[in-house]
Copies of this chain bind each other. A is one copy, B any other.
């Protein structure tokens, strides 16, 4: 049995839940409340030296970093494929994933926002502005790529890893109050995924540790 170390509102954990759901895989969840620093406890640090979520316990190994976990899932459970078949098209899908995983998400996650608050005295509205700026810059480029390569999903007409990255990032963008009107191609993918059972199952609000009220 696969066990996912997770937190309901973590974008990176959400990516993995989507891929697990798309692959039709059952998994257990162990949740760590990041707001309470539960991920910093020694027991979890022994499993994952970086003590971030997610981590996937496969029974044989504890895998960390959502992009690496998704590649492992694709290699070990190839159906349905979440990467297209040619190297060039695979590179395009992966570049969409990296645009989000490297150039948007790391700048807006909890540990960085906390640091901006502590080190530079940024208040909530400055933090929202900071987050919105990086999301807008990334989405502007991603919109061009999805407009070019997408046909219902980010790349082509079936879900790929790129959708596993986009949907959590849109969820996060909405929390930061990003205006999504300039990104019709991204919004269309989001609307499509809103009705897809695997994406619905993976949504933060459907996780066991979800707050009743957003906080």
Contact = CB atoms under 8 A, between A and B. Distances in A.
Interface stretch (A27-35, A104-112, A201-209): A104-112
A136 to B, nearest CB: 13
Given A50-B141, A120-B120, A91 B68 contact: yes
B49 A144 contact: yes
Given A120-B120, A145-B49, A68 B94 contact: yes
Nearest to A133: B115
A71 interface: yes
A13 to B, nearest CB: 14
Give the copy number.
2
9 closest A-B pairs by CB: A68-B94, A65-B98, A50-B141, A49-B144, A65-B95, A72-B91, A68-B95, A120-B120, A106-B106
Interface stretch (A16-24, A56-64, A152-160, A170-178): A56-64
Contacts of A102: 65, 67, 101-102, 105-106
Chain A contact residues: helix, strand, loop or mixed: helix
* Size category of the binding interface on chain A: 35 or more
A119 interface: yes
Contact of A71 (B91, B116, B122, B144): B91
A124 to B, nearest CB: 15
A99 interface: yes
A76 interface: yes
